[in-house]
């Protein structure tokens, strides 16, 4: 190489790390302070005045504290003014990429001394929040003023969000399970393989003074779920998951060889950058070709091997990104490192610590120290960002490279050429589907939240679906330790909550399943539905709401059922509304209580039901229970019935239609009197207000409801449906518009096309009772 090119050779001249473990969280240092400490440590490592010479400073995307301009604040704290200071993007490969780019700027003569730095203090933030301690840090920036960075959010399809598979801890297991199946391993064998690999990482962390966890748990401890090693996402327990709950910072400083020599830095302190490579997968993980391999990772690592002379056995040292075991497992399968070469020099994101986007800066610090000490001549650092999304590798050495640093490090064309066809993604689907890959998500107390299945339909199109926690058969299939469920056939349906759900085996007949939360009787053309949770005042949780929603789906679809009666079991309550105990327990587990698309009891948001429903209110109808009754067409109440919308008394609001239906049914002032006070209204007052049709003794309630139903059934069901639809849709328009529209309503059109419209006049003319067909 020419002398000028040699002078511009980029060399790593200093590294620095800092770990903060205060006993009192109030004494913890904020991220910018940690980064400043790391840079001071690097200056001490170099042994020469260094910070003032930095002309380029890249700060790795920072998460644990909101700053307007973290790199500007850091420069101010250090008293330096580099010509280039940048807040860099998110992603675990970012430190590797930033160092590579800094080296290229030095090689091009655009810079002399450049630093890459990052730091996080999530442990301090978490402990302070728990202890209710106010941290004396830089004021949190408002969210809209926080520095904006690339890749702050993962590209995600609507169906992935709907399935609840949006976090890395949900997505990497999809790759892990696919890889295990592709290698012919049972889940138990795959777990043992991962645990053995992670034990190697843990042993390295135990010898690293900058590591967060230095206890070196065994493979058995790592792979066995326990109270302290709970399952997170199948097949990963906590000790196989990146640990971001740390306070760590690190920096790597690179300079031109000429500057390093002029500054008096000894030759044996220099580490050379031989080159690297980068490539990416499609951002949305559902748009990938497969889940047992990454072509971008393969292309990047193969290029790194080429830079090492074409044989991976040339690498003495390696730092393979390790947020979850599947990433280094895939990398090791591609590389074929020689025996005895550990996959990490720092200890990995579980045991060393995973300071979000900055782990690889620590990894490079450890690599530099190893190379300087003569523990190896050639090292590979490989970082990965997103969710198997972005890949970047560098080859580092204690010896100079034989060629100048290459300017074009992208191997995207190679990765794209290796990639197979990407299947069509179905956002909506019902029908048979075979598992492509899967995981199961667990709550903090070890309970199953739900499963996730990526599946293919018979035509090869891809979809993502939930596996519900109450589907014991399908969950058991996913959790089988002896046999992978990949390739298992099942069916997909859309459940009452609007979720795409995968179920094992043949399509299940939902109508034949035993009812757990209600009973259903059919008496001629009348369906009688009884909410059957008397022990909880017939309150409703999501599963009860779903069951009722399915019951009313059946009622709505059955042409032989013309009228429904809804009541509650026992004599204390029609329904006390939402099951608050269930909701509180779900919230304590970090879960939501979803509402079916058709609302409380499958009725409050069932806007297209033209068949009449009668509420037979026995006892309490509170909150959601009253809203269910208001959604019915008639209310027959026992004398002991009590109605209220008490939500304001517990800081809630009656958002299942109560605030909208009650004023329409009894007028604004009377409705506001009930809504704003949450007061209880008796059956007799309800009748005087106008929302109750009849009040009877408790013993006569169902007989009275049947009497009303029989009177309705004596009429043409087609006329009844058309009349109900015209009334309800007409309320949405002014009188003149509704008058013009009513003949165009669907049920009215069905009436005019029906046999009933001819049967009525004919029966009248023949002086006989009509024989209604309802169609």
Lowest mean pLDDT among 207-211, 495-499, 612-616: 495-499
Residue 204 reports pLDDT greater than 70: yes
pLDDT band at 581 (very low <50, low <70, confident <90, very high): confident
**Burial of residue 461, with CB atoms counted within 10 A of its CB: 0-12 exposed, 13-18 middle, 19 or more buried:** middle
Count CB-CB contacts under 10 A for residue 555: 20
pLDDT digits (tens, 9 = 90+) for 229-281: 999 999 999 999 999 999 999 999 999 999 999 999 999 999 999 999 999 99
pLDDT digits (tens, 9 = 90+) for 712-739: 999 998 888 988 888 888 888 888 887 8
- Contacts of residue 141, defined as CB under 8 A and 6 or more positions apart, other chains included, come to 66, 67, 68
pLDDT digits (tens, 9 = 90+) for 393-416: 999 999 999 889 999 999 999 999
Cα–Cα distance for residue pair 707/694, rounded to 1 Å: 11
Residue 618 pLDDT: 95
Residue 131 pLDDT: 94
Mean pLDDT calculated for residue range 746-759: 81
The terminus-to-terminus CA distance of the chain in angstroms comes to 91
The pTM assigned to this predicted structure is: 0.91
Element (H, E) at 520: strand 518-523
In the block, tokens 């059922």 appear at 561
Cα–Cα distance for residue pair 132/26, rounded to 1 Å: 10
Do the strands 317-320 and 236-237 form a parallel or antiparallel pair, or are they unpaired?
unpaired
In the block, tokens 């297991």 appear at 173
pLDDT band at 754 (very low <50, low <70, confident <90, very high): confident
Could you say which of 93, 193, 319, 647 is catalytic? 647
Residue 545 pLDDT: 95
3-state SS class at 338: coil
Residue 1 reports pLDDT greater than 70: no
Residue 379 pLDDT: 98
Cα–Cα distance for residue pair 401/382, rounded to 1 Å: 19
- Mean pLDDT (the chain) is 94
Mean pLDDT calculated for residue range 323-330: 98
3-state SS class at 705: helix
DSSP string, 95-157: HHHHHHHHHHHHHTTS-SEEEEEEEEEHHHHHHHHHHTPPP-SSPPPPGGGSPP-TTSS----
Residue 185 reports pLDDT greater than 90: yes
Mean pLDDT calculated for residue range 320-348: 97
3-state SS class at 392: strand
Contact between residue 381 and residue 363 where contact means Cβ atoms under 8 Å apart: yes
Angle at Cα 358 formed by Cα 357 and Cα 359, nearest 5°?
105
- Comparing CA positions, the residue from 584, 497, 567 lying closest to residue 531 is 567
Residue 741 pLDDT: 81
Residue 584 reports pLDDT greater than 90: no
Q: Give yes or no for a cis peptide into 718 (omega within 30° of 0).
A: no
User: Residue 753 has which token pair?
Assistant: 């096309």
User: Residue 79 has which token pair?
Assistant: 């008293």
User: Residue 584 has which token pair?
Assistant: 């509180």
Cα–Cα distance for residue pair 218/230, rounded to 1 Å: 16
Mean pLDDT calculated for residue range 559-571: 96
Per-residue 3-state assignment (H helix, E strand, C coil) for 265-321? CCHHHCEEEEEEEEEECCCCHHHCCCCCCCHHHHHHHHHHHHHCCCCHHHCCEEEEC
Residue 760 reports pLDDT greater than 80: no
Contact between residue 278 and residue 300 where contact means Cβ atoms under 8 Å apart: yes
Q: Which residues in 445-515 belong to E strands, given as ranges? A: 448-456, 462-468, 489-494, 500-504
Mean pLDDT calculated for residue range 750-766: 81
Residue 734 pLDDT: 81
User: Residue 110 has which token pair?
Assistant: 């655009």
Residue 2 reports pLDDT greater than 70: no
Helix orientation angle between 94-107 and 359-372, rounded to the nearest 10 degrees = 60
pLDDT digits (tens, 9 = 90+) for 357-368: 999 999 999 999
627 belongs to the catalytic site = yes
Contact between residue 229 and residue 240 where contact means Cβ atoms under 8 Å apart: no
Residue 161 reports pLDDT greater than 70: yes
Mean pLDDT calculated for residue range 535-543: 94
Do the strands 620-622 and 642-644 form a parallel or antiparallel pair, or are they unpaired?
parallel
647 belongs to the catalytic site = yes
Residue 449 pLDDT: 93
Residue 751 reports pLDDT greater than 80: no
pLDDT digits (tens, 9 = 90+) for 275-323: 999 999 999 999 999 999 999 999 999 999 999 999 999 999 999 999 9
Could you say which of 17, 221, 627, 725 is catalytic? 627
Angle at Cα 608 formed by Cα 575 and Cα 516, nearest 5°?
35
Residue 89 reports pLDDT greater than 80: yes
Residue 124 pLDDT: 97
Element (H, E) at 415: helix 412-418
User: Residue 258 has which token pair?
Assistant: 């000429």
> Is the CA virtual torsion 156, 161, 165, 166 positive or negative?
positive
**Burial of residue 556, with CB atoms counted within 10 A of its CB: 0-12 exposed, 13-18 middle, 19 or more buried:** middle
User: Residue 251 has which token pair?
Assistant: 């920096």
Residue 625 reports pLDDT greater than 80: yes
User: Residue 297 has which token pair?
Assistant: 């990772």
């Amino acid at each position: 190489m020419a002398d000028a090119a040699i002078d511009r050779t980029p060399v790593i001249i200093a590294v620095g790390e800092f770990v903060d473990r205060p006993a009192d969280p109030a004494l913890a240092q904020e991220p910018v302070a940690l980064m400043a400490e790391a840079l001071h440590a690097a200056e001490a490592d170099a042994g020469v005045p260094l910070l003032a010479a930095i002309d380029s400073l890249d700060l790795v995307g920072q998460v644990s504290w909101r700053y307007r301009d973290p790199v500007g604040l850091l420069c101010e704290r250090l008293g330096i003014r580099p010509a280039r200071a940048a807040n860099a993007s998110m992603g675990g490969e970012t430190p590797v990429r930033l160092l590579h780019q800094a080296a290229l700027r030095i090689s091009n003569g655009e810079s002399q001394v450049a630093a890459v730095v990052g730091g996080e203090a999530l442990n301090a933030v978490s402990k302070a929040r728990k202890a209710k301690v106010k941290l004396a840090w830089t004021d949190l920036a408002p969210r809209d003023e926080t520095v904006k960075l690339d890749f702050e959010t993962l590209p995600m399809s609507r169906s992935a969000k709907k399935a609840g598979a949006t976090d890395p801890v949900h997505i990497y297991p999809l790759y892990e399970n696919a890889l295990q199946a592709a290698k012919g391993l049972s889940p138990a064998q795959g777990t043992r393989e991962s645990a053995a690999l992670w034990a190697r990482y843990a042993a390295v962390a135990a010898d690293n003074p900058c590591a967060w966890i230095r206890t070196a748990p065994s493979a058995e401890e790592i792979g066995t779920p326990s109270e302290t090693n709970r399952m997170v996402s199948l097949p990963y327990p906590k000790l196989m998951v990146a640990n971001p709950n740390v306070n760590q910072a690190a920096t790597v400083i690179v300079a031109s060889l000429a500057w390093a020599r002029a500054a008096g830095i000894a030759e044996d302190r220099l580490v050379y950058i031989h080159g690297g490579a980068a490539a990416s997968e499609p951002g949305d993980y559902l748009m990938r070709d497969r889940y047992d391999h990454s072509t971008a990772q393969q292309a990047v690592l193969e290029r790194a091997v080429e830079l090492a002379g074409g044989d991976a056995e040339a690498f003495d040292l390696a730092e393979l990104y390790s947020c979850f075991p599947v990433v280094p497992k895939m990398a090791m399968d591609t590389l074929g490192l020689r025996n005895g070469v550990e996959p990490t020099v720092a200890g990995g994101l579980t045991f060393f610590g995973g300071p979000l986007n900055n782990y690889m800066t620590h990894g490079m610090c450890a690599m530099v120290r190893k190379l300087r000490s003569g523990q190896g001549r050639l090292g590979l650092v490989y970082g990965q960002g997103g969710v198997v999304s972005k890949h970047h590798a560098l080859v580092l050495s204690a010896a100079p490279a034989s060629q100048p640093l290459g300017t074009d490090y992208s191997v995207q064309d190679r990765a794209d050429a290796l990639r197979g066809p990407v299947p069509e993604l179905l956002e909506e689907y019902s029908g048979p589907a075979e598992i492509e890959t899967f995981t199961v998500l667990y709550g903090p107390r070890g309970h199953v939240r739900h499963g996730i299945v990526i599946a293919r339909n018979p035509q090869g199109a891809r979809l993502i679906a939930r596996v519900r926690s109450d589907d014991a058969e399908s969950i058991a299939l996913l959790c089988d330790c002896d046999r992978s469920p990949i390739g298992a056939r099942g069916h997909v349906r859309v459940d009452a909550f609007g979720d795409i759900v995968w179920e094992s085996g043949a399509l299940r007949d939902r109508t034949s399943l035993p009812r757990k939360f209600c009973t259903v009787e059919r008496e001629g053309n009348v369906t009688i539905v009884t909410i059957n949770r008397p022990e909880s005042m017939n309150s409703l949780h999501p599963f009860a709401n779903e069951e009722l929603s399915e019951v009313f789906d059946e009622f709505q679809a059955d042409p032989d059922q013309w009228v429904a009666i809804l009541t509650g079991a026992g004599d204390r309550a029609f329904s006390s509304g939402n099951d608050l105990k269930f909701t509180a327990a779900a919230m304590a587990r970090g879960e939501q209580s979803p509402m079916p698309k058709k609302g409380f009891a499958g009725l409050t948001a069932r806007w297209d039901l033209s068949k009449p429903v009668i509420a037979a209110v026995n006892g309490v109808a509170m909150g959601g229970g009253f809203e269910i009754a208001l959604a019915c067409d008639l209310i027959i109440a026992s004398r002991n019935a009590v109605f209220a919308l008490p939500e304001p008394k517990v800081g809630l609001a009656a958002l299942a239609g109560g605030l909208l239906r009650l004023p329409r049914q009894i007028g604004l002032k009377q409705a506001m009197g009930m809504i704003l006070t949450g007061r209880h209204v008796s059956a007799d007052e309800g009748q005087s207000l106008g929302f109750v049709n009849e009040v009877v003794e408790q013993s006569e309630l169902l007989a009275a409801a049947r009497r009303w139903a029989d009177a309705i059934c004596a009429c043409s069901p087609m006329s009844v449906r058309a009349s109900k639809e015209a009334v309800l849709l007409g309320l949405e328009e002014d009188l003149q518009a509704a008058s013009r529209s009513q003949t165009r309503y669907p049920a009215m059109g069905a009436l005019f096309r029906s046999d009933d419209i001819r049967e009525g006049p004919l029966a009248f003319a023949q002086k006989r009772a009509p024989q209604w067909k309802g169609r």
